[in-house]
Structure 1
Amino acid sequence: MNIPQELLYQQYVRRELETYRAPYDPELEFYSYVRQGNTEKVKELCRESFQEKKGLGILSDSPLQNLKYHFAITAAMLARYCIEGGMEVTEAYDLSDYYIHKADLMKSKKEISTLHPQMCLDYTTRMEKMHRNHACSRPVAQCLEYIYDHLHNRITVPTLAAHAGISPGYLSHLFAKEMGISVSSYIQSKKIETAQNMLCHSDYAISVISTTLAFPSQSYFTSVFREKTGKTPMQYRAEHFRTSSIK
């Protein structure tokens, strides 16, 4: 496969995955993306109109009231997942109450369908901001953003330090102090998290995933993956992969 690493990584991160699996799995996946603050993925998944979403149960004989009930369930789930992700309980429930009340006043399914992605993205952008502000200093926040955008590259402390405009030694000290983990360990963890998602939701070969995430060799990738997850990439995929059709 002769696709540039950057393009392959961006294709994975940004494209829509046409998955065919039990309805419960994509729901959990969706709420996980909200909790992660992954606005790009949540935008993609919100393209389907809420009122036309398949698999919604019948909770009321009134189609409008039925959609309102499902909207309220979604709001409650968003609040729960975001609280688990670190959002303040009061903020999460205040948002939920606000959107449920707003939906309750609406007179059409179309209005509720328009409100649905607004609510989801409101939670997601708040989580994204919270994750980025986890580090108090601007240099570390800049590095976190750079790491996320360049997981397809080999990322070094000098590269990050130059991006943040500080010395490598100071960056290493500051990053460890604010994040509670070394720069290299953090980068490895983020690469392995991405590898886990790719193993679960794509049919890329393990060698391709290793190369895409800029590991020096497949054997090193396997070693780090086993250290972080307790399983080899092949074992992990065998346990978590869902049959999918990917174009």
Structure 2
Amino acid sequence: MGELEKELSYREYVLREEYTLHAPYNPEMEFYNAVKSGDIIAVEKFLQVPFCEKEGLGTLSDNDIQNFKYHLAITAAMLARNCIDNGLEHEQAYTLSDLYIKRADKCKTLSEISDLHSKMVINYTKKMREQNTHAIYSRHIIQCINYIYDHMHERITLEEIAADVNLSNSYLSRLFKKEMHMSVSEYISRKKIETAKNMIDYSEYSITDISSILAFPSQSYFVKVFKQYVGLTPGKYKRQAKSLAS
């Protein structure tokens, strides 16, 4: 897979559709506020009524299953936007949205859609709870993080990031370690492996394609780093994930 193909493939993977919400304003805003604040208890109360039994969502398709798939996609897009407004990294938020929309497309029953919706909402809420407990990062570190997410499909170096944020390599390295409690290279590896896990969970890409798309120097190195952080090889993780989903 060439460089252009890798970039196009990755960009295709994180493409986002624009959706408009047609549900009652106040209850929905309470729901999104609970997610944004990372309030698991409040969110679980909202989830007591299964997604596919909710009223007032409107009819987007005469087919019930397709109708709720559309509404789950709307919810995914709205969750991403609301969480971004409250500080979640935009690439992470939209990648989650894309992944759950892809997963919804495979659902065959209303029960599966409701279960997926609950998992998606809880996932975003936990991300926000974690986000809200973190210290506020400096402007330069936020720029670094955004650069890493924007170039996840490339081989990223400290020198490139330092040039982008207009800092020296040594100063950026010290600043990043101080605020993030890990090196730049470790953070990049962690985020690439998180993305790889999500791609294994929710996309049809092969292990070889994922390794290439995320710009690992070789598949063997990807397997080594994946196992270091996950405790399983990508192949074993994929088999385990499929087993749990079936």
Residue type of the partner of 1:225? F
Name 2:14's counterpart in structure 1.
13
C-alpha distance in 1 between matches for 2:77 and 2:198 = 26
Mapped contact 1:82–1:127 kept (Cα < 8 A)? no
Shift of residue 142, structure 1, vs aligned partner: 1.0
Q: How many residues align?
A: 177
C-alpha distance in 2 between matches for 1:84 and 1:140 = 26
Which consecutive residues of structure 2, in runs of 5 or more, have no partner in the other structure?
47-55, 59-70, 90-127
Q: Does 1:206 align with 2:235?
A: no
Residue type of the partner of 2:12? Q
Mapped contact 1:189–1:228 kept (Cα < 8 A)? yes
Q: Does 1:83 align with 2:38?
A: yes
| Structure 2 length-normalised TM | 0.59
Residue type of the partner of 1:152? H
Q: Secondary structure at the match of 2:156?
A: coil
Shift of residue 231, structure 1, vs aligned partner: 0.9
C-alpha distance in 1 between matches for 2:35 and 2:185 = 32
Equivalent positions of 1:87-98 (< 5 A) are: none
C-alpha distance in 1 between matches for 2:34 and 2:186 = 30
Change (3 A) 1:49 1:140: closer
C-alpha distance in 1 between matches for 2:142 and 2:21 = 34
Name 2:145's counterpart in structure 1.
144
Name 2:19's counterpart in structure 1.
47
Equivalent positions of 1:143-182 (< 5 A) are: 143-182=144-183
C-alpha distance in 2 between matches for 1:169 and 1:195 = 29
Q: Does 1:226 align with 2:186?
A: no
Within the candidate set 71, 85, 92, 1:125 is matched to 85
Name 2:240's counterpart in structure 1.
239
Greater RCO, CA 8 A, separation 6+? 1
Shift of residue 195, structure 1, vs aligned partner: 0.3
Residue type of the partner of 1:234? G
Which consecutive residues of structure 1, in runs of 5 or more, have no partner in the other structure?
15-39, 52-66, 97-107, 243-247
Q: Secondary structure at the match of 2:87?
A: helix
C-alpha distance in 2 between matches for 1:211 and 1:230 = 21
Mapped contact 2:192–2:214 kept (Cα < 8 A)? yes
**Residue-by-residue CA offset, 1:97-120 (whole Å, 9 max, x unaligned):** xxxxxxxxxxx867xx9x979974
C-alpha distance in 1 between matches for 2:76 and 2:202 = 23
Name 2:184's counterpart in structure 1.
183
Mapped contact 2:19–2:77 kept (Cα < 8 A)? no
**Residue-by-residue CA offset, 1:27-70 (whole Å, 9 max, x unaligned):** xxxxxxxxxxxxx5xxx4x737556xxxxxxxxxxxxxxx78xx
C-alpha distance in 2 between matches for 1:152 and 1:109 = 37
Mapped contact 2:32–2:82 kept (Cα < 8 A)? no
Q: What is the RMSD of the two structures over their aligned residues, measured on CA atoms?
A: 4.1
Residue type of the partner of 1:175? F
Larger Rg: 1
